[in-house]
Amino acid sequence: MDIYQWTAPPADRRPPIPAPATLNDVPAGYVCPQLRPYRCYFFTDDAQMFAVGVRVKLMSLRAWRRLTNRMRLRMAIPEKRSLGTWCKWIGVLLIPILGLVVVTRDKILRASAAIGEALGGRMEFHVYRALCGLLEHLRAVNSGGATSCTGYTVRTAPAARLRRGPRASSDATN
């Protein structure tokens, strides 16, 4: 690709060439974006960096940190920072570039509070069923077996409980 393809007048642009196999095959005045070991894109104050290999990634992060420190730029608060792409799914952060699955603090706090209510016998049946669903998500994230949550719903099966409806209390201690 011509280095100046977007800035030079049409008459001064170089003709396209086939993609070279190595950096040494790139003629003067051309670039080959596919052979770049590092890229950084910006949109206003958001930087997105790509690197090939751990050594190049660490080098790019150190260079970014030096640049922002020298310019005295204040970066995003820690809650807004991220390394790589990620998504939130059923209250869990999936970070494929690092091979991580992170259960968020709010999901853990909600689950522990609901478990405390269930063990204290202060939970209505429909809330208990919601807790079972929440724990099912955690089972899946934790690679638990398909039968690891069957004990949660066994107590909801009796016909007497179902006749009392969703507002019936649930005694999770039995």
C-alpha 148, offset from chain centre: 26
39 versus 69: the higher-pLDDT residue is: 69
**Is the per-residue pLDDT at 14 higher than 80?**
yes
The predicted-structure confidence for 138-150, as pLDDT tens digits, reads as follows: 777 776 666 655 5
Task: Determine contact, residues 132/114, Cβ cutoff 8 Å.
Answer: no
The predicted-structure confidence for 51-67, as pLDDT tens digits, reads as follows: 888 888 889 889 888 98
The predicted-structure confidence for 19-32, as pLDDT tens digits, reads as follows: 788 878 888 888 77
Other beta carbons within 10 Å of 86: 15
Measure the CA–CA gap between 55 and 162, rounded to whole angstroms.
61
Name residues whose C-beta falls within 8 Å of residue 134's C-beta, 6 or more positions apart in sequence: 107, 110, 111, 114
Place 166 in a pLDDT band, splitting at 50, 70 and 90: low
**Is the per-residue pLDDT at 119 higher than 70?**
yes
Residue type (1 letter), 137? H
Measure the CA–CA gap between 17 and 75, rounded to whole angstroms.
40
| pLDDT at 174 (0 to 100) | 47
29 versus 82: the higher-pLDDT residue is: 29
Q: Kindly state the tokens that stand for 58.
A: 């660490």
Measure the CA–CA gap between 73 and 152, rounded to whole angstroms.
51
| pLDDT at 160 (0 to 100) | 46
Single pTM value for the model:
0.43
Place of tokens 């398909």: 146
Residue closest to 174 by CA, chosen among 156, 162, 160, 159: 156
